[in-house]
Amino acid sequence: MATEDKKPETDTKPPVVPSASASQSKSAPAKPNYSLKFTLAGHTKAVSSVKFSPSGEWLASSSADKLIKIWGAYDGKFEKTISGHKLGISDVAWSSDSNLLVSASDDKTLKIWDVNSGKCLKTLKGHSNYVFCCNFNPQSNLIVSGSFDESVRIWDVKTGKCLKTLPAHSDPVSAVHFNRDGSLIVSSSYDGLCRIWDTASGQCLKTLIGKSSYLSVNLKKSKSHVQHLNSCIQKAKLLWIYFLCLKTYTGHKNEKYCIFANFSVTGGKWIVSGSEDNMVYIWNLQTKEIVQKLQGHTDVVISTACHPTENIIASAALENDKTIKLWKSDC
Amino acid sequence: MYRGDKDLQTSARKMGTSLLFQLSAYERELDLVFLDHSYAKPWNAHPDASSARPTRTLFVTPRRQAETLSDSESLIDVETVTPTPIPLYDNQKALSVMKECERHVLFARTAADGPPPPDDWEEHINKTGWSVTQNKLFNKVVKALQAERLARLANENASNEPILRRIAVDKCARKVRHALASVNWETKLTQWLHTTMIESLSLSMLAAYLDVLQTLKSKLPTLIDRMLLPSAKTGAPSAEALSLLLKRPWDPAVGVLSQNKPCKLPGSPLILIAPSFPTNPALSTSRRMRFWQSQLSCLGKVIPVHTHVNSGANIGITQCLEHMLGTVRAKVMEVHSHFPHKPIILVGWNAGALIACHVSLMEYLTAVVCLGFPLLTVNGPRGDVDDPLLDMKTPVLFVVGQNALQCTTDGMEEFREKLRADNSLVVVGGADDNLRINSAKMKSEGLTQTMVDRCVQDEIADFLSGVLTRAEGHSHGSGEMRDLDTEKKKRPRRELPFEMERGRPSSPALRVSISPSGSEKSSLITATQLLKTHMQRSGTVLTHKQAQAQFAAFMKQNMLVRKNLPPGTPCIFVPVTSDQIEGLDRDDLRPHGKRRQTPSPTPSKASKRAKIKVTIVSQSESAGGAINPAEVGVSGKPLTVAVGQTVPGAKELSGLLTSPRSGSLSEVSGALSPGSSSFSSGQPCMVSVSSTPAQVQAPATAQAPSASSLLQGLSFSLQEIVTKAPNLPSPATSTGSTQAVCGKSQDPVLSSVGPSGGTLLRTVPVVTAGGVSKTTAIHQLLTNGGLAKLASSLPGLAHITNQTAGMCRTAKTRRPR
């Protein structure tokens, strides 16, 4: 859907009303009560990314130890290890049907894995530097990847061929994401820009300029327009609706690493992010207040993930910790 | 909000004549206001207001108020998903046509090629021996295909996927065309490229490639054909299937358009399309223009005007324009003289629109439709005080693109204000000078060009039907025209001109005139249909000039013969001498038959005295030999008429006459009656040709002396006769009946009346009735003589008398001509 030019304008008002009524009727919880349920140990080096499968059944984690591990999302039970990359893995992502995984590695390749067999189906070669981030589109026929070579590439899942290279940024690309219907790609970079691309043509539609480098971008798939969350190195997370900077979430510590930020919508509406003070921060989406801090990790919490249906948060920490923790809440 | 929406939809339905009308109905606030407050007059209703009617917009995105910046405290909805809009076309059908190429991708490959290339086909291509240009060309095309693949994947499962795909394919086709143009479409290279592509592309890429070929084929048929030549030669069945696949590009809106054709306009107008540039007969018109023509032909009869300017001729633009103007004008006059009662509408694109406007200043037109009006000129916008266009009186519709370079919406409004003629303006959102919308618009609104065109056509139909009904209403109110007009409405539209032989001696030489190449003043009476065919085709029985001459003569004589027979059945009345009849049965049919269709054998056994010969030639191709030509010989001598029929001819004739289409019968009589009423002797005369031979025969013979005297100088006119062979009952009983009618009494009359009535031309109405009661009525008429009786005793025929009266008036008013 390329209605991006029109939609945001028409839709700005309605969003306020339903969510307000929803919060009234459900009397939205003021605070979540996340508590540690499981600690998953197994990676031998820093964990770089954790992701729940869209089916809600699995949790995948990637690590600097070149491995991908699959865990049970509800019980934290170790399921399998997937190996094949020659260097550490920076990011991992699920396809919509939860059957495929794509991983981005420092060996300049991406690999598409069959989750059931654990076999590598395709190796996507083309980047000239570390591949840093990757994602499937909702149809799961395309993969987008961002790299330290400052480009964003779009890949054909079926053939493993690079269909398009976007000369996206002038610094390493820190995060890439598709919007809900796959018509747009959002990329963020150390160069302080966040760009929105038309998937079909590869044209840049918009450039967002922040105060500092964007290190993470996460699109919450709502409406037909983009809502995405940028975590910024200056201790602030910015929520944008298309090109309007809507909200800024502050309080945590984020100076060095590209820390993932997430929407949590299963219970209350939260923003979840790791922090360099070894804690997981949870903000109220609407009021921007910090509603909870999760303590337990012993190193920088670099990645967090929210379960698609349950009030579960997964968090992963770096070198000194190497563990993944599952948190649960009633709301 | 919601109620309003629903209201809007229902009102749109009320207003809307078609589904497509509704597509653009959301922006029709004006209409909505009008519906809610129907008592209110439109703003231009005031007599002092200009004749410009409110602008209508199609797909113009309404300007919305600037967003109030949402502050950081407002709540954000992160859950609600906007429902995907329902496409305006049949999505199922669109998807299926969209995937046509994918489904049939194997057509492109012959079985001998072995297993299809793998997904990583590119690495397997042996590029050794490729020249630089070959490499370049190949890479360009592959790159284009890859971009198409990306778009294809990205758009998968999108709510408006077919349209997005169409846009992507068009874009890719454009790129491939560029690539091929960069090598000047060198046959060797393009053929090499095609073979390589077919051999090496993976299936999914090949599907995209076929899509591209399909698109380009419709734009550059010859170049693509040349490109495909080698593959067409090799694999026979697959190549055939491939050429079928490539025949025309798919369109997402395919179903919608075929199901929602525009409706016929009232008054069956003639739509002339003015050319916007000199046309080259060698080049085929674009696909879009063909689509326009076919759609407009649903509104009325479309007559494209072509201006051929020899490319060798060194003429300036002014001359060329003058030439075009002259051609259009001549065409308008010609059409007007052929169909004096039909409204003529002139349609033109761009420069053609201007030509249409200028022609409207010189010739009488019912309406002008300007598509993409070039308002801006080098000397500024049109509409200066001395602009002749401001003197236009003809109602005019302007359709302009919102993004047109040669025209601005505001400028149009200003121009319209000064225009004296009744005028309307339709603005097509996001469209250019040629009313083509851009791909962004297509994407965002889920439209295709054909859908937009279709909506514009709806607007045109809307405007024209308004103009036409007003024109009709107007003429109703104005005295003398009234009769003619009501006449026109009552009667079927087509008229059969006919002409009689005048003062020509009955000689064998007449046979010459029967032949199509006959140089004498035509003794053939043709139907309107025939004239029409002449206008379009050459090589038929009459040359154009002959037809025109006939028509002129016909006008002079004020003989209007009506018919309501289906088109495609011209009938030719061939006067012959009685002694020639038998020979003619065969001889004369042959030339016609050759030209039109083989007539079935015509046994002449029963036509001993046949003197009127009517050749009915069917033009319907399917009819084959199913229709027997009916032959009635008309004597060449002006004052002698004998009626005779060959056996099959009689069958045919009576069959036609007795066929349930009583309307046609009444038409015949009605049409012929003016002749009889203007008859010098003042005796109305009717010869009945009936299916029941006995009944007719009796009166006919009884009346023989008077009837025969009335028949002096008679030219017998019969209508174009129903072609529909299967519909024709052919009662054998009637065989020879007509023959009997006149046969006995004719011969003596021929000689006796001959010298005295030489200058008189007479028409004898032929009334045939299917039922017994009608026959008796005619009987009565024949014995008592008098149309009034006929009218009173036969209510069904009552209007014939009226018509007759009308016709008489027509005859009178027209006489001075």
Residue with tokens 């654990």: A118
Query: Which chain A residues touch B2 with a CB distance below 8 Å?
Result: none
Tokens of A23: 């919060």
Task: Check pLDDT > 60 for residue B698.
Answer: no
Most confident of A110-124, B17-31, B287-301, B692-706: A110-124
Average confidence score pLDDT of chain A: 80
Listed in sequence order, the DSSP H helices in B383-438 are 409-418
Residue B168 at interface with chain A, using a CB cutoff of 8 Å = yes
CA distance B308 to B279: 5
Whether B352 and B330 have beta carbons less than 8 Å apart is answered as no
Mean pLDDT, residues A124-144 taken together:
92
Mean pLDDT, residues B627-649 taken together:
37
CA distance B510 to B255: 56
H or E element that contains A327: strand A324-328
Mean pLDDT, residues B304-320 taken together:
76
Q: Please name the residues in contact with B234: beta carbons below 8 A apart, sequence gap of 6 or more.
A: B110
CA distance B174 to B144: 9
Task: Check pLDDT > 90 for residue A316.
Answer: yes
Residue-wise pLDDT for B222-236, tens only, equals 888 888 887 666 555
Would you call B77 and A159 a contact, using CB atoms and an 8 Å cutoff? no
Tokens of A301: 């919490």
Q: Which amino acid is at B319?
A: Q
CB interface of A with B, residues 231-260, below 8 Å: 239, 241, 244, 246-248
**pLDDT at residue B40, rounded to an integer:** 67
Chain A CA closest to residue B84: A224
Residue B202 at interface with chain A, using a CB cutoff of 8 Å = yes
Closest by CA to B371, choosing from B355, B386, B383, is: B355
Task: Check pLDDT > 80 for residue B697.
Answer: no
Residue with tokens 């965002």: B444
**pLDDT at residue A327, rounded to an integer:** 93
**pLDDT at residue B706, rounded to an integer:** 43
Task: Check pLDDT > 50 for residue B46.
Answer: yes
Residue A308 at interface with chain B, using a CB cutoff of 8 Å = no
H helix count then E strand count, chain B: 33, 17
Task: Check pLDDT > 90 for residue A61.
Answer: yes
Tokens of B401: 């693109």
**pLDDT at residue B515, rounded to an integer:** 36
**Verdict on whether the full-model pTM lies above 0.80:** no
Residue with tokens 């001598």: B637
Task: Check pLDDT > 70 for residue B421.
Answer: yes
Residue-wise pLDDT for B699-733, tens only, equals 433 444 444 433 333 333 333 333 333 443 444 33
Is the sign of the CA dihedral A71, A77, A81, A85 positive or negative?
positive
Confidence of residue B417 (pLDDT cuts 50, 70, 90): confident
- The percent of residues above 90 in pLDDT, for chain B, comes to 6
Task: Check pLDDT > 80 for residue A132.
Answer: yes
**pLDDT at residue A27, rounded to an integer:** 53
To test the contact with chain A by mutation, choose from B71, B73, B79, B164 the residue with the greatest count of A C-beta atoms within 10 A, namely B79
Q: Which residue has the higher pLDDT, B348 or B563?
A: B348
Q: Which amino acid is at B252?
A: P
Residue A269 at interface with chain B, using a CB cutoff of 8 Å = yes
CA distance B377 to B400: 15
Would you call A7 and B82 a contact, using CB atoms and an 8 Å cutoff? yes
How close B145 comes to chain A (CA, Å)? 10
Count CB neighbours of A96 within 10 A: 16
CA distance A330 to A318: 28
Would you call B155 and A200 a contact, using CB atoms and an 8 Å cutoff? yes
Residue B35 at interface with chain A, using a CB cutoff of 8 Å = no
B302: Cα within 13 Å, side-chain hemisphere: 18
Residue B1 at interface with chain A, using a CB cutoff of 8 Å = no
- Report the greatest alpha carbon distance in chain B: 112
CA distance B234 to B222: 19
Task: Check pLDDT > 50 for residue B188.
Answer: yes
CA distance A68 to A84: 9
Query: Which chain B residues touch A248 with a CB distance below 8 Å?
Result: 72
Task: Check pLDDT > 80 for residue B506.
Answer: no
B804: Cα within 13 Å, side-chain hemisphere: 28
Query: Which chain B residues touch A19 with a CB distance below 8 Å?
Result: 75-80
Confidence of residue B498 (pLDDT cuts 50, 70, 90): very low
Confidence of residue A84 (pLDDT cuts 50, 70, 90): very high
Tokens of B683: 């005796």
**pLDDT at residue B389, rounded to an integer:** 86
Whole-number Cα distances in Å, A152 to A121, A143, A259: 21, 10, 19
How close A172 comes to chain B (CA, Å)? 24
- At residue B811's C-alpha, the angle toward residues B814 and B545, to 5°, is 60
Residue-wise pLDDT for B354-388, tens only, equals 889 989 988 888 899 999 888 888 888 888 888 88
Average confidence score pLDDT of chain B: 62
Is the sign of the CA dihedral A19, A21, A23, A26 positive or negative?
negative
The two beta strands, B396-401 and B367-371, are parallel
Would you call A14 and B61 a contact, using CB atoms and an 8 Å cutoff? no
What radius of gyration, in Å, describes the C-alpha atoms of chain A?
18
Would you call B69 and A244 a contact, using CB atoms and an 8 Å cutoff? yes
Mean pLDDT, residues B187-191 taken together:
90
Listed in sequence order, the DSSP H helices in B37-160 are 91-98, 100-103, 121-124, 132-154
Task: Check pLDDT > 50 for residue A50.
Answer: yes
Confidence of residue B529 (pLDDT cuts 50, 70, 90): very low
Q: Which residue has the higher pLDDT, B687 or B364?
A: B364
CA distance B716 to B741: 14
CA distance B273 to B305: 6
- Main-chain phi, psi angles of B181, to 5 degrees: -70, -30
The two beta strands, B687-688 and B766-767, are parallel
**pLDDT at residue A52, rounded to an integer:** 93
Would you call A15 and B202 a contact, using CB atoms and an 8 Å cutoff? no
**Which among B72, B149, B159 is the nearest to A246, CB-wise?**
B72
Confidence of residue B12 (pLDDT cuts 50, 70, 90): very low
Would you call B75 and A19 a contact, using CB atoms and an 8 Å cutoff? yes
**pLDDT at residue B116, rounded to an integer:** 62
The two beta strands, B344-349 and B367-371, are parallel
Closest by CA to B393, choosing from B370, B372, B422, B413, is: B422
Confidence of residue B284 (pLDDT cuts 50, 70, 90): low
CA distance B69 to A243: 11
CA distance B246 to B226: 14
**pLDDT at residue B278, rounded to an integer:** 77
Residue-wise pLDDT for B512-526, tens only, equals 333 333 333 333 333
Whether A315 and A324 have beta carbons less than 8 Å apart is answered as yes
**pLDDT at residue B32, rounded to an integer:** 59
**Which among A9, A200, A224 is the nearest to B150, CB-wise?**
A200
Q: Which residue has the higher pLDDT, A175 or B781?
A: A175
Tokens of B269: 């107008």
Would you call A246 and B149 a contact, using CB atoms and an 8 Å cutoff? no
Mean pLDDT, residues B626-647 taken together:
37
Whether B305 and B272 have beta carbons less than 8 Å apart is answered as yes
Closest by CA to B768, choosing from B677, B690, B715, is: B690
Confidence of residue B543 (pLDDT cuts 50, 70, 90): very low
Whole-number Cα distances in Å, B644 to B527, B633, B691, B804: 21, 6, 15, 27
Sheet bearing A47-52, strands edge to edge:
A47-52, A58-63, A67-72, A78-83
**pLDDT at residue A119, rounded to an integer:** 93
CA dihedral B93, B98, B104, B107 (to 10 degrees): 130
**pLDDT at residue B377, rounded to an integer:** 83
To test the contact with chain A by mutation, choose from B61, B65, B82 the residue with the greatest count of A C-beta atoms within 10 A, namely B82
A54-59: long-range pairs with CB below 8 Å, 24+: A54/A94, A54/A95, A54/A96, A54/A97, A54/A98, A54/A308, A55/A97, A55/A98, A55/A308, A56/A307, A56/A308, A56/A309, A56/A310, A57/A98, A58/A94, A58/A98, A58/A115, A59/A305, A59/A314, A59/A324, A59/A326
Residue A188 at interface with chain B, using a CB cutoff of 8 Å = no
Residue-wise pLDDT for A243-254, tens only, equals 456 677 777 877
Whole-number Cα distances in Å, B403 to B163, B233, B410, B425, B451: 21, 46, 12, 15, 18
Mean pLDDT, residues A185-193 taken together:
81
Task: Check pLDDT > 90 for residue A25.
Answer: no
DSSP A259-286: --EEEE-SSS-EEEEE-TTS-EEEEETT
CA distance B151 to B139: 18
Whole-number Cα distances in Å, B685 to A61, A243, B136, B348, B783: 106, 89, 86, 50, 10
Closest by CA to B274, choosing from B323, B313, B315, B310, is: B323
B537: Cα within 13 Å, side-chain hemisphere: 10
Identify the weakest region by mean pLDDT among A84-88, B73-77, B104-108. B73-77
Task: Check pLDDT > 90 for residue A68.
Answer: yes
CA distance A299 to B709: 125
Chain B CA closest to residue A11: B82
Mean pLDDT, residues B746-765 taken together:
38
